[in-house]
């Protein structure tokens, strides 16, 4: 009887020893089945529904406006849709703001001599927008004396300047990034801008085909002009400072993104410059790539923000990790750059 009892006890202990392994196996099986269900469901959603295709178009548009554009084909969009996105980004509509000068009210003249840093020179507006599927935050800087807005250019050859370095050199009250620049593998040092660069009426750099043909300039009397101009044409028009980027957002009061799909340029951190009919210049920076804080904005969002505030001419600046705004020497937007002081830049728009 003792032997039988020992045998039964041994069998029970052996069964107990196997129970944890059975639980682990069951847990692994449930986990695998759950993951497989969600993966297959996700694939079915992305490739079998209209909303899924929209999400893939958003992703492709976003990738095409970064240095990782080679990943865009892996969204597996139909070739015609992917090519349409590429065409929209490479060759956006360009309108010369001077083509129809009567369509845009003249800039309100500013009496000379200008008062030194008047208290009402700059106002700041907080931006906090929630869309159906994303959200974004940022700042708008209103500069009420357009003659005080100038393009600052780095004098270094090994790299560009950080925004706070531009501020220290110029005592700028407010500042945002401007031109794009060569950025191989994300290690660009911002020493050389793409496209036209005019500083204090002098042509520092002429057209560069990589930047597109669109230029934005500010004349000596504080009028913002944008369009397909050569550097020489801009100087003849009385432009004091100018640079190149794309796309235009508003020209002669017309929102160029009204009928365009938002996903064509994706969602990114954004910077833009615009001018109202009364001469007020706006700097806009939208934070992005930061879940929990701000995902980023589409070009449509940017154009709508400016249109709602009465802007008649506006153009996008370089975006992504370059987008940043400083006011009185302090960053008032949150850069997506891993370095809290932002990136090295070839130039910047500043309030002097």
Same domain, 158 and 65: no
Greater model confidence, 202 or 261: 202
Same domain, 301 and 214: yes
Identify the band that residue 207 occupies on the pLDDT scale cut at 50, 70 and 90. confident
Q: How far is CA 185 from the centre of its chain?
A: 18
Nearest to 146 by CA among 285, 277, 327: 277
Same domain, 157 and 289: yes
Same domain, 154 and 185: yes
> Do residues 85 and 57 make contact, with C-beta atoms less than 8 angstroms apart?
yes
What pTM does this model have? 0.81
Q: Where does a domain end: 47, 65, 88?
A: 88
- In the block, tokens 């060569």 appear at 182
Q: Where does a domain end: 57, 88, 119?
A: 88
Q: How far is CA 294 from the centre of its chain?
A: 12
Same domain, 160 and 75: no
Same domain, 127 and 31: no
Same domain, 227 and 331: yes
Handedness of CA 41, 42, 47, 53 (dihedral sign): positive
Same domain, 247 and 294: yes
Nearest to 217 by CA among 205, 204, 190, 199: 199
Greater model confidence, 6 or 46: 6
Domain count, the chain: 2
Same domain, 30 and 156: no
Same domain, 79 and 99: no
Same domain, 199 and 302: yes
Contacts 24+ apart (CB under 8 A), 121-127: 121/145, 121/148, 121/173, 121/351, 122/173, 122/174, 122/327, 122/351, 124/327, 124/332, 127/284, 127/286, 127/305
Identify the band that residue 217 occupies on the pLDDT scale cut at 50, 70 and 90. very high
Q: Give the structural domain span for 239.
A: 94-351
Q: What is the mean pLDDT of the chain?
A: 83
Residue 24 scores a pLDDT above 90: no
DSSP string, 177-234: E---B--GGG-----SBSS-EEETTEEEE---GGG-SEEEEEETTS-EEEEE--HHHH
Q: Where does a domain end: 53, 88, 123?
A: 88
Identify the band that residue 46 occupies on the pLDDT scale cut at 50, 70 and 90. very low
| Separation in Å, CA 175 to CA 8, 50, 285, 323, 340 | 83, 42, 10, 11, 16
Tens of pLDDT, residue by residue over 266-322, are 999 999 999 999 999 999 999 999 999 999 999 999 999 999 999 999 999 999 999
């Amino acid at each position: 009887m003792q032997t039988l009892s020992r045998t039964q006890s041994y069998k029970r202990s052996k069964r107990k020893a196997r129970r944890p392994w059975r639980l682990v196996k069951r847990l692994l099986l449930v986990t695998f089945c759950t993951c497989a269900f969600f993966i297959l469901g996700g694939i079915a959603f992305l490739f079998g529904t209209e909303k899924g295709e929209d999400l893939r178009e958003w992703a492709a548009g976003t990738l095409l406006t970064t240095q990782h554009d080679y990943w865009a084909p892996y969204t597996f969009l139909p070739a015609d849709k992917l090519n349409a996105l590429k065409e929209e980004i490479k060759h956006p509509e360009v309108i010369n703001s001077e083509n129809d000068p009567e369509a845009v009210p003249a800039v309100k003249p500013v009496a000379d001599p200008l008062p030194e840093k008047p208290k009402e020179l700059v106002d700041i507006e907080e931006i906090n927008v929630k869309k159906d599927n994303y959200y974004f935050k940022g700042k708008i800087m209103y500069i009420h004396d357009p003659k005080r807005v100038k393009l600052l250019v780095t004098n270094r050859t090994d790299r560009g300047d950080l925004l706070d370095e531009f501020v220290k050199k110029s005592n700028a009250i407010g500042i945002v990034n401007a031109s794009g620049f060569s950025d191989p593998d994300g290690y660009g040092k911002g020493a050389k801008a793409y496209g036209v660069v005019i500083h204090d009426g002098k042509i520092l750099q002429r057209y560069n085909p990589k930047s597109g043909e669109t230029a934005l300039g500010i004349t000596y009397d504080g009028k913002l002009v944008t369009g397909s101009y050569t550097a020489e044409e801009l100087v003849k028009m009385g432009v004091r400072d100018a640079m190149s980027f794309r796309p235009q957002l508003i020209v002669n009061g017309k929102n160029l993104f009204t009928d365009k799909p938002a996903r064509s340029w994706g969602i990114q951190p954004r910077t833009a410059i615009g001018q109202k009919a009364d001469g007020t210049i706006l700097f806009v920076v939208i934070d992005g790539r930061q879940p929990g804080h701000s995902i980023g904005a589409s070009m449509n969002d940017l154009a709508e923000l400016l249109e709602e505030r009465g802007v008649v001419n506006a153009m996008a600046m370089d975006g992504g990790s370059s987008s940043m705004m400083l006011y009185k020497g302090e960053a008032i937007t949150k850069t997506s750059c891993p370095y809290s002081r932002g990136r090295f830049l070839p130039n910047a728009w500043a309030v002097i």
